[in-house]
Amino acid sequence: MPIKAPRGTYDILPPDSRKWQAMEQSLKRVAHIYGYEEIRTPVFEHTELFERGVGEGTDIVSKEMYTFFDKSGRSLTLRPEMTASCARALIEHSAHTGLLPLKWFYCGPMFRYDRPQSGRYRQFHQFGAEVFGSSSPLVDAEVLMMVVRMLQSIGLTEYLLHINSVGCPSCRDSYRQELLDFINPIVNDLCPDCRQRSRANPLRVLDCKESRCHEAIKGHPRLLDHLCSGCARHYQRVRDTLTRQGICFEHDDRLVRGLDYYTNTAFEIHIPGIGAQSAVGGGGRYNGLVKAIEGPDLPGIGFALGLERLLLALEKQDSALPGKRDLEVFVAVMEAEYEDEAVTILQQLRDAGIVADKDYLERKARAQLKYADKSGAALVLFVGADEVKQGFVTVRNMINKEQTAILRTGLIPAITRLLHHNEEAQAQ
């Protein structure tokens, strides 16, 4: 049996990899415009970082981590998300002693051992960002505005932005008891996971995805009614700013984060019509996280977008990310003895930044032309006896099929002009 990629993982081959590149470039461009710089961290970390930074009570840590012991017996884990790694890197490099706020973005693979299905993989990719060092509600609003701009930049127009405030630990203390009083009489109507959650962390019952739990908790007390005055003001400012800037959102009482270091704004982005895994991204404020992993008392906020799900959503919305190779010029060689000349011309084109290629399978002239056509080449240059002897090349425009002779001495400007003409003609 030939070896296959492990379950829950997959390969990205051309031409699909072009879509990934285009999407990542758009997202990076937006992050750059909003003042973010890239951070790269190792794909594995000490297991303890995620136990403390993501939280032992979460599904990610309790069920989904790829944990292994290395040859010296250390427990390491493939990163299931990036926020903890960013916070660890910040502390390790004392990055907070420089200019604040720190605005970082990242893009890369994450690993979670979950049951694979459409939109859920064991190795998947996230694009995310974190801001450390400001607790201003305007930063929360800016992060949300950037997320919306990112979706627009890749052509996603139909999305739902859900937001809530989870307050601070003291808001949640007063809320937890009221929620427990509500849940206790109906606990047997909940799914087995939620029965357990209701004992350990009743807030997590609210965001259970099971429909029986949705039904059972209808009319539950709202965390919004328990926000202290500071947290209520913070949330109001975020909502007012979004409204003023024309960002559509929906307040969602069931959107919670179970861990103590999450504070204030929490959000999720859903795309209608992409199936059960409709969340393409989520995030929120975590003012207690950096301190929880023994760093300074530094506020933070961040989010992550799932790239597989963004692509799925784009396919559903028929949005066009590039899928085809953008070959500009193909150099066709008429006879083997002119190969050297063809290589020289190819190199000249490439030196000038033109996307060019040639045949490497000793195809006949006609087959080379066919190959160039299938590859989407805009121009084909013929290099044969007449051309080499008389110092010109024959250029065939694959769009309008016109053929012209161009002197070798003026080759690059002439090719550039032709490519430019073609582009303009296609744009019209």
Site string for ligand AMP, 124-143 (x = CB under 6 A): x-x-----------------
Is 308 a binding residue for ligand AMP by CB under 6 A? The answer is yes
Strands 102-111 and 356-358: unpaired
Site string for ligand AMP, 270-299 (x = CB under 6 A): ---------xxxx-----------------
Q: Tell me whether residue 50 or residue 124 sits nearer to ligand AMP (CB atom).
A: 124
Give Cα separations from 128 to 8, 15, 284, 314, 366 (angstroms). Answer: 21, 25, 12, 18, 49
Distance CA 352, CA 341 (A): 17
CB count in 10 Å sphere of residue 37: 11
Among the candidate windows 114-122, 189-197, 312-320, 385-393, which touches ligand AMP by CB under 6 A?
A: 114-122
Q: Tell me whether residue 81 or residue 252 sits nearer to ligand AMP (CB atom).
A: 81
Size of the site for ligand AMP (CB under 6 A): 16
User: Which residue minimizes CB distance to ligand AMP?
Assistant: 306
Distance CA 383, CA 386 (A): 8
Site string for ligand AMP, 81-100 (x = CB under 6 A): x-------------------
Distance CA 408, CA 402 (A): 18
Is 255 a binding residue for ligand AMP by CB under 6 A? The answer is no
Least distance in angstroms from the C-beta of 85 to ligand AMP: 12
Is 258 a binding residue for ligand AMP by CB under 6 A? The answer is no
- Residue written as tokens 């357990």? 196
Distance CA 87, CA 54 (A): 11
Least distance in angstroms from the C-beta of 104 to ligand AMP: 16
Question: In this structure, what DSSP letter does residue 117 have?
Answer: B
Least distance in angstroms from the C-beta of 43 to ligand AMP: 15
Is 39 a binding residue for ligand AMP by CB under 6 A? The answer is no
For residue 191 the two structure tokens come to: 């799914």
Dihedral of CA 151/153/155/157: which sign?
positive
Give the closest residue to 241 by CA, choosing from 137, 315, 151, 331: 137
Residues that bind ligand AMP (CB under 6 A): 81, 112, 114, 119-121, 124, 126, 279-282, 304, 306, 308-309
